[in-house]
Amino acid sequence: MSHRNTTAIAFLIIGLVIGLGIGIVIPTITTADNSLANVTTRGTLIVGTSADYPPFESLDSENNVVGFDADLMEYIGDYMNVTIVWQNMDFDSLVGACSAGTIDVIAAAMFISEERAAVLSHSIPYLQTEMSIVAMNDSSLSISNLEDLSGETVGVQTGSIEDTTISDVSGVSVTRFATADLMFAALDAGTVDAIFVDTPVVTVYMSTYNIKTILTMAAELTVLYAGLNANSLMIQMNAAISQALQDGTIDGLIQEWL
């Protein structure tokens, strides 16, 4: 995705946040909620991620989590005056870990979905990207929609929206991978005919593999997730995201990472 298009989306989200024009519900504090008190008492916000997904989250040479979401969470940590503590795990384990309270927040380039909203609460959106079907450069595969992939084997990351979306397409054989790097390696090895992944991730892996995008489509809005009843914590995170959208921080992260 180009910086220009992504920046335009950021400004659109600012307007949506200010006007609540997309029906985003800002949570209200309930008497049983002590999520913010727990975080404040500890002085740490435990954030789960799957650090195999550059440019959103990956590990540097010292095993520090870096990327768009990492920088956003550091901003939120500063806003809340707490230290960010990362827990790295497979993407498909994040929702369960957050539901169980093992982590406070999920920051993993995760889209809004009805299934996730049934068990977790989500923040106001901070980004919208795209999703891409990717093949090797020498592939003859040509499609104009997902239905054209009938008869093909498509790789996805387990538990992703791409996984859910392509699984509903008749005739497609879906192969699931725990991490994005395994998915791209399988494409290169010819184990799958194509893969379905977030567009910004494709740009990173183009420096490693001879790949091309054969279809691009809009994605859902990107959000953070917390426990279903973590309303007081979510209010603070929403305030931080809103400030980051309005003070240019999100736009700066888009320019740096996307």
What's the mean pLDDT when you consider all of the chain?
Answer: 91
- The full set of domains in the chain, from first to last, is 3-128+221-257 (3.40.190.10), 129-219 (3.40.190.10)
Mean per-residue pLDDT, 166-193: 98
By CB atoms closer than 10 A (0-12, 13-18, 19+), residue 121 is buried
Cα angle at 90 between 84 and 92, to 5 degrees? Answer: 110
Using alpha carbons, select from 194, 221, 163, 198 the residue that is nearest to residue 52: 198
pLDDT at residue 112 is higher than 70: yes
d(CA 247, CA 253): 12
pLDDT at residue 11 is higher than 90: no
Q: Give 61-94 pLDDT, tens digit per residue.
A: 999 999 999 999 999 999 999 999 999 999 999 9
Mean per-residue pLDDT, 183-188: 98
By CB atoms closer than 10 A (0-12, 13-18, 19+), residue 99 is middle
By CB atoms closer than 10 A (0-12, 13-18, 19+), residue 89 is middle
Of 25-39, 74-88, 161-175, 221-235, minimum mean pLDDT range: 25-39
Mean per-residue pLDDT, 167-196: 98
SS3 177: strand
**pTM (2 d.p.):** 0.87
- Per residue, what are the HEC states of 113-127? CHHHHCCEEECCCCE
Distances (CA, A) of 154 to 12, 131, 184, 187: 32, 14, 11, 9
